Structure 1
Amino acid sequence: MSTRLRIVELAKGTAADISAVEQVMESAFDPRFGEAWNRSQLLGILGMPGVWLTLARVDGHVAGFALSRAIVDEAELLLLATAPAYRRRGVGSALVRSILTDARERGVVRVHLEVRAGNAAVDLYRSNGFAKCGERRGYYRGKAGEVYDAHSYSVALS
């Protein structure tokens, strides 16, 4: 059984951190689902207004990241990944809590996310107050053409 890490350092990420983000995605996202973004997509969205990248470091290593965007009074958690060696040790929870805090500070009243049906991260999101609010049948396409439903979740910030 894994133990919770003592220190997860959270910091704002920039375009200079994209290689580390790509490494986490490569290890964290199962390639059969095609969920990882490419460098061009990451760099493109990072330059947009309201977008922020949060890095989680443990002992100086990037253990996870979250990419979010706020528009007016709503935000969306676009991507979140934890490197497999750091899963179930508090990194994902620290990232989600950080995103919710950052969103509040930006004047956001509700945060949304979308996740592939069957993704184990749903437990993380639910434990941080997210509730299912929608479903898109056949939304995601896997690398071999498989079809997966998307589930939408949101949480109201008080």
Structure 2
Amino acid sequence: MSKCTVSISEGSILDLEAVMAVMEDSFDPAYGEAWTAAQCAGLMPLPGVWLSVARQHEKVVGFALGRIVLTEAELLLLAVKRIGRRRGVGQLLLDRFRLIASAKGASKLHLEVRDGNPAMNLYRRAGFTEAGRRRNYYTGRDGQIYDALTLMRETFI
């Protein structure tokens, strides 16, 4: 999978089944990070929420779910199927999130990530820095507890 063969477009509730398949493939259940279909479906129709979907050959290979409130946007979820990792898909989705958030008037971007998640490399390269820590936020299926890191950056590109 290469960058040039991946297209990013606006998604909708009609993409929920494909989004959930990406989430199932992407989020290791050992960490307790994945959302349920009901959680996604409940959030998607709310004002200020948008879904970006990455497709390759018409198949969904990744997605980003964002929302904006006043001048602050939050990246709620970003996931890429395992087969598409380290090929630029996550970067394309993050870039689109940043552009949409900026176009909607955001001056600050936020996200939350499990401490130790390899996606931290992507977020750091994009200029996100640690703004806070939520101790003992995630509980893995084995009972292990993980902190959540809150990250922030200004919207300028």
TM range (shorter): over 0.9
The one-letter amino acid of 1:51's match is V
The counterpart of 1:47, out of the listed 28, 35, 45, is 45
Give the CA deviation at 1:51. Answer: 0.5
The residue aligned with 1:32 is 30
SS of aligned partner of 1:6: helix
SS of aligned partner of 1:37: coil
Structural RMSD (CA): 1.1
The one-letter amino acid of 2:5's match is I
Report the TM-score when normalising by structure 2. 0.96
The one-letter amino acid of 1:35's match is E
- 4+ residue stretches of structure 1 with deviation over 6 A? none
The one-letter amino acid of 2:12's match is T
Matches within 5 A, 1:1-158: 4-158=2-156
Unaligned runs of 5+ in 1: none
Give the CA deviation at 1:5. Answer: 2.9
Unaligned runs of 5+ in 2: none
Report the TM-score when normalising by structure 1. 0.95
Give the CA deviation at 1:60. Answer: 1.5
Counterpart contact for 1:4–1:88, Cα < 8 Å: no
The one-letter amino acid of 2:21's match is Q
The one-letter amino acid of 2:56's match is V
The one-letter amino acid of 2:77's match is L
Determine the C-alpha separation between the residues in 1 that align with 2:119 and 2:28: 13
Among all aligned residue pairs of Structure 1 and Structure 2, give the percentage whose two residues are the same amino acid. Answer: 45
SS of aligned partner of 1:32: coil
Give the CA deviation at 1:116. Answer: 0.4
Determine the C-alpha separation between the residues in 1 that align with 2:112 and 2:129: 11
Give the CA deviation at 1:4. Answer: 4.0
Q: Which deviations, in whole Å up to 9, do the C-alpha atoms of 1:1-37 show, x marking residues without a partner?
A: xx74322201111011000000001111101112111
SS of aligned partner of 2:46: coil
